[in-house]
């Protein structure tokens, strides 16, 4: 995947970001089925409103910051971050995600902590998925978009906002999700979901065939 990232922004930088997100093949339905209770939404929105300028500056070395925080693991995630730093919306989206993680050291810890969940996926969700549709500056300045960013970060981290069950949280997320509200992008989302469903059925078929072979042996 790293080799194919080099053309990011060759035609439409924001469309390319969304393509990179879909290429990661995260299954939102599966994520929803595995969420655990997380921190209060208001805690995340509050921290989004206080992102330091140093994190958003073009010269900020995001990969180095992520490394210091122990916040980036897989080689594919590092490749995405390296390329995203060359695209302004994505760079600022990743920077804001890093601030949420760093704020546990610089402001106060979050309960439950953001450090023990899927940080690579949460950073990609802000830096690729959301940044492709909503300018990260709006996550700071606009209350509704700030809530969207907070819910996006918690969802892809693997958390439900404190006090919400999955049904409530999903309804509120669907209402705010700019990807679903953008009619021009709904086809891309539908194609992505269809691919995931085909892959899921293929895995189930392979598992059944493997089980049958094991039984026959």
- Give the Cα separation of 146 and 66 in Å (integer): 22
Dihedral of the CA atoms 74, 72, 89, 122 (nearest 10)? 90
> Of all residues in the chain, what percent carry a pLDDT higher than 70?
75
54 burial (CB, 10 Å; 0-12 / 13-18 / 19+) is exposed
pLDDT digits (tens, 9 = 90+) for 95-127: 999 999 999 999 999 999 998 788 889 999 999
Can you name the residues that pair with 37 across neighbouring β-strands? 160
pTM of the model: 0.79
Distance between CA atoms of residues 145 and 148, nearest Å: 5
Report the alpha-carbon distance of residue 146 to residue 141 in Å, rounded: 7
Q: Does residue 163 sit in helix, strand or coil?
A: coil
pLDDT at residue number 215? 62
Question: What ranges do the domains of the chain cover?
Answer: 3-181, 183-217
Residue 198 has pLDDT above 90, yes or no: no
Section 3-28 average pLDDT: 69
Tens-digit pLDDT profile for residues 25-83: 899 999 999 999 999 999 999 999 999 999 999 998 888 888 888 766 666 667 777 77
The 10s digit of each residue's pLDDT in 132-149 is 999 999 999 999 999 999
Q: What is the pLDDT of residues 161-182, one digit of tens each?
A: 999 999 999 999 999 999 887 7
Residue 191 has pLDDT above 90, yes or no: no
């Amino acid at each position: 995947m790293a080799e194919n990232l080099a053309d990011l922004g060759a035609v439409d930088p924001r469309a390319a970001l969304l393509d990179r997100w879909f290429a990661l093949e995260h299954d939102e339905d599966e994520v929803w089925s595995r969420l655990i209770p997380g921190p209060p939404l208001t805690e995340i929105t509050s921290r989004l409103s206080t992102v330091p300028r140093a994190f958003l500056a073009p010269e900020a070395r995001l990969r180095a910051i992520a490394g210091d925080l122990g916040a980036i693991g897989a080689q594919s995630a590092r490749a995405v971050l390296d390329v995203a730093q060359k695209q302004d919306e994505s760079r600022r989206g990743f920077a804001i995600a890093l601030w949420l993680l760093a704020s546990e050291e610089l402001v106060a810890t979050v309960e439950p902590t953001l450090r023990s969940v899927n940080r690579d996926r949460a950073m990609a969700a802000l830096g690729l998925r959301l940044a492709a549709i909503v300018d990260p500056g709006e996550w700071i300045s606009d209350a509704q978009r700030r809530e969207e960013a907070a819910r996006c970060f918690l969802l892809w981290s693997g958390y439900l906002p404190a006090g919400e069950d999955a049904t409530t949280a999903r309804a509120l997320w669907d209402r705010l999700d700019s990807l679903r509200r953008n009619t021009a992008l709904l086809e891309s989302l539908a194609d992505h979901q269809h691919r995931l469903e085909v892959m899921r059925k293929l895995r189930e078929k392979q598992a059944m065939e493997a089980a049958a072979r094991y039984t026959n042996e």
